Amino acid sequence: MTLPEALRRDVDRLGRALGDAIREVSGERLYALVEEVRARTKRLRQQPDERQARELEALVAGLDLRQAEGLTRAFTSFFYLANLAESYHRVRSADGGGGEFAAAARRLADWGVPAREAARLAADLRLWLTFTAHPTEARRRTVRHHLERLHEALAAGDGAQLAERVRLLWATEELRRTQPTVEDEVKGALHYLPESLWGTPARLVERLEEAVAGVYGERFEAASPIRTRSWIGGDRDGNPAVTPEVTAWAQDYARRLYVEHFCRGLDELIMDLSVSERRLPVPRALREAAERALELIERAPRFEGEPLRRFLMGVYYRLEHTLSGGPGAYADAGALTGDLVQLRRTLEQMGFSVFARRGVRPLEEAARTFGLTFAPLDLREESGEHRQAVAELLAAAGLADDYAEWPEERREAWLTGELASARPLAPVGYAPRGEPLRRALGALEVWEGRGAYVVSMTRGAADLLEVLLLAREVGRYDPERGAPFDVVPLFETLDDLDAAGATVARLLANPVFRRQVEARGLLEVMIGYSDSNKDAGFLAANWALYTAQQRIAEAARVAGVRVRFFHGRGTSTARGGGPAGRAIAALPAGTVGSEIRITEQGEALADKYGHPELALRSLEETLAHLWLAAARDAGYGPEAGFAPEPAWVEALERAAARSAEAYRALLSAEGFLAFFEQLTPIREIAALKIASRPVYRHGRIRDIRDLRAIPWVMAWTQVRANLPGWYGLGEGLAAIEPELLAEMYAGWPFFRSVLEGAELSLAKADLGVTRRYLRLVEPALAERFFPELERAHAAALAALEAARGRPLLADAPELARSLELRNPYLDPINLLQVELLYRFRRLPPESPDREATTRALLSTILGIAAGMRNTG
C-alpha cells in the first residue's frame, strides 16, 4: 500500500534531512548503524525469517549504551518527522469549500430541516473543550517548538530552513532532566490557545454561516460554539502537587496570558481605526459609549477627534483592570463581547464591513470562547478526600468523631438538614489539621476563574453535598441560591456506571441539590472512560457507558432537569479515543442535544491544535457531528428516536457480561500481576518524567487496582499488545449468534462504533513483537499467560472480521498506510527496549552504568509513544 505522492515526498525530504543531521552531528558510524538496522527490519517486515530475526537481535544485544541511545533517538526523531508530515498532509488535503459544515447542512436539508430550524440548532451548539495534563505531552516543549517551526518551513517550501531545523532537532536533548511541575503542564497546554486556537472560533463561525447560506440560501448570524476549560492546576485527585497555591497561580497565569494577548489584538485595532470624525462621521451611540468608558476608568483622554480609537482605549483599559481590580474592570465576558459587537456593527454601518469581519470579529468570538480567563479552571477531587475533610469539620465543631464511618443515607440526611443554614462549622480561627481539609478549603478560597467542581468516584448524593458544605465554610454557599459553580458527579467504575441512573435520580430528589441545579440551569454529569475499561474491559465498559447515559438522561427527564454530559475521553481506543465526530454520532439518541463537553488530553493537543488549520479541521468535524446529533435529538432524520431492537440489547447484555467475566478472570488470576510487571516497562514508566501525577494510587502496586488507568494502557501499548482495547471481545461476541451479530453491526451506530474502535486497537497490536518481551518473564509465567493472550487476540480478530464481514483495515487505508510506514522503525526500538530492560533490571543500584542505561531505556519509551502516536 503506497503513500499519497505528496506525503511520500515530504517524508522522504524530512528523512534525508535527518540522515544528513545524524552524519554531521553524530558521525558516519551511527548513520551506518541506523541504515543497517532500518534495512534489516524492513526486510523482516516484508519477508519474515527467523534466522535473520535472531541476527538482528544479536546485533542489538551487542550495542553499547551510547550506540543504543543513538539508534533509539534516530528512529524516534523519524517518528516526530513522519507525524509532522502526516499532520501537514491533513492540512494540505483539507476541503476549502465549506467542508464538514457544508456536508452537514446538506444532510439537514435532506432530512427536511427548515432553514430557520437549521440556523437555530447551529446557534445553540456548544462544544466544551477541557484541557487536561494526564497523560501530558511526552515530548519536551523545546522539541515541540522545533516541530512547529518545521511545519512552517515545510509549508513555505524552504529547504534550507528545513535542513537547519532538523539539525537543531537532532542536536536537542529529548529527555527531561527534571520532573515537570504542574506549572510546566499549564504552560504547555495553554500554549495552543493564543497560538493555534485564537482565530479559529471566528473562522468556524464564518464557515457555519456560509454553510447555511450555501445550502438554504438564507443568512444568519452565528456565534462561537466553542467554550474552553482547564483541569491543569485544579485537578487534585491523586496529585499532591496540586496545592491551593498552585491553583491560585494557574488561574492567574491563564488570566494574564489572555489579557496580554487580547490587548495585543486591541493595539492593532487602535492603530488601524484612525478614523477622524472631521472626515467621516461616527455614530453618536459609539461616541457616547467611548466617553462613558473613559470616564469610568478614570483615564486621561487620548485620541481627541478619533472616536473609534477612544472607544477601543476604553475596552483596553477596562480589560487591563480585570487583572488589578481597578475601576471599570469587566465583570464578565458578556460585557466585553457586547462592546465588540457594538464596534463591529458600527463599522458595518460606516461601510467598513470587510474590516469589521476580519479585524473585530476574531476578537469578539475570542471573548465568547475564552471568557475573561482563557480557560476557566475546574477543580476535581476524589469523594473519599471530601469525606475526610468534612469529618474533621464535624470533629472540630464537636458534633461527631465518626462521620467518615457513617453510611451514605445518614450522611445525606445530616448534610441536607445542615445546608439549610449559612453558619460555618469550624470555630473562629480554626486551622485545618489534616491535608484533605486544608487542600479543599484552600482551593475553594483562591478559586476565582471558576469552572466546575468535579467529584470523582461519586457513589451517592452525600458525595456532592459535601462539596457544598465545604463551599459554605469559605463563604461560597447560600442556602437559597446554592454555590456559584456546577457540582459535577463523575461515574467511573462499572458498578458506579450501572448505578448512575439511580444515583442521579436520588440527587435530583434531594431538595438541597435540586435547588443547586435549578440555580445553575442544568445538571452536568461526567462519565469516565479510563477506569471503567481497566475495571471491566473494552466491551463491557463501552456498554456500561452507553446504558449509563440512557439512564441518567431518563432520570433527568423525569425530574424536569436539563443534563449536559461531560465525556472523559482519552487518546487510546481503550480510553474512548478515536475521532470525536464518530463518537458523537454513536451516542444514545436523546442524550446529546446541542451541548457536549469532552476532555482534550495533553498528548493530543499537538496533533489536533499544533497548527491553526489542524485546529479548524478538527473542531469543524466535531461540531458538524454535534449539529447532526442535535437535529436527530430534535426529531429529524432517519435515526430520530432511534432505539435498538430488544433482541440486540439482550444480546449485548450477554456479550458484555461474558467479556467482563473473561477480562476479570485474567486480571485476577494468580501470577498475572507479576507477569504484567515483568513483561511491560510499567515500573520504568514511573521513572519517565512526563507528568506531575504519580503512576500509582498508593505508592506501590499490590493489585492492578492500585495502578492508574493511563499507565496501565501505556504499558500495554509499549509492548505492542494493546490488551485493554480488545481483550475479552472474542468471548463476548461469541455469545451472539452470527446472523444477529451482522444485523446489529449494520443497524446500530453505537455497536458499529465500538467494533471500529476495537479494530484500531487490534490493528496496532503486534503479538509477534510482544513475544520478544518474554525474555524478561519467568518461564512458568510466560508459558501460562502468553498463549492465553495469543488465543484471545485471535478470537477477537476472528469475531471482529466475522461481524463486519471484511478483513481488518479493509476500509481504513490511511491507518493501514501509517502502520506500514511506522512498523519498520518501531520494531528496532522494541528490540532495543527489550535488551535495555534486560540489562537495567540486572544492574545493582550502585552501578556506574545505571544512569546511562536509564536514559537509553527512557528514550525507547518516548520513541514507542511517538511511533504509536499515543502514550496512554
Supply the residues annotated as catalytic: 134, 534
Closest among 716, 684, 607 to 175, alpha carbons compared: 684
Closest among 411, 283, 293 to 348, alpha carbons compared: 283
- Nearest 5 degrees, angle CA 642-CA 648-CA 651? 155
744: Cα within 13 Å, side-chain hemisphere: 26
**CB-count exposure of residue 264 (10 Å: 0-12, 13-18, 19+):** exposed
CB crowding 282-319: b at 16 or more within 10 Å, else e: beeebbebbeebbeebebeeebeebbbbbbbbbbbbbb
Q: Which amino acid is at 730?
A: G
Closest among 330, 356, 329 to 343, alpha carbons compared: 356
Q: What is the three-class DSSP state of 777?
A: coil
* 506 vs 523: CA distance, rounded Å: 13
Q: What are the cell numbers at 39?
A: 534495512
Closest among 355, 470, 481 to 418, alpha carbons compared: 470
Residue 861 CB neighbour total at 10 angstroms: 26
The torsion angle over the Cα atoms of residues 272, 277, 279 and 280, rounded to 10 degrees, is 80
Closest among 532, 517, 519 to 465, alpha carbons compared: 517
How distant is the alpha carbon of residue 27 from its chain centre?
Answer: 40
Asked if 254 and 372 touch (Cβ cutoff 8 Å), the reply is: no
The torsion angle over the Cα atoms of residues 149, 154, 160 and 162, rounded to 10 degrees, is 50
Residue listed under C-alpha cell 461474558: 658
Q: Give the DSSP per-residue string, 394-432.
A: HHHTTS-S-GGGS-HHHHHHHHHHHTTS---SSPTT---
* 393 vs 470: CA distance, rounded Å: 9
Q: What are phi and psi of 262, to 5 degrees?
A: -65, -40
- DSSP annotation of 482 reads B
- Nearest 5 degrees, angle CA 603-CA 608-CA 610? 85
Q: What are the cell numbers at 422?
A: 449559612
Residue length, the chain? 872
Dihedral sign for Cα atoms in the order 467, 469, 475, 479: positive
Asked if 779 and 728 touch (Cβ cutoff 8 Å), the reply is: no
* 80 vs 67: CA distance, rounded Å: 20
* 854 vs 827: CA distance, rounded Å: 20
* 820 vs 34: CA distance, rounded Å: 19
Q: What is the three-class DSSP state of 564?
A: strand
Q: What are phi and psi of 22, to 5 degrees?
A: -60, -45
Q: Give the DSSP per-residue string, 817-858.
A: HHHHHHHHHHHHHHHHHHHHHHHHTTS-TT-TTHHHHHHHHH
* 383 vs 238: CA distance, rounded Å: 11
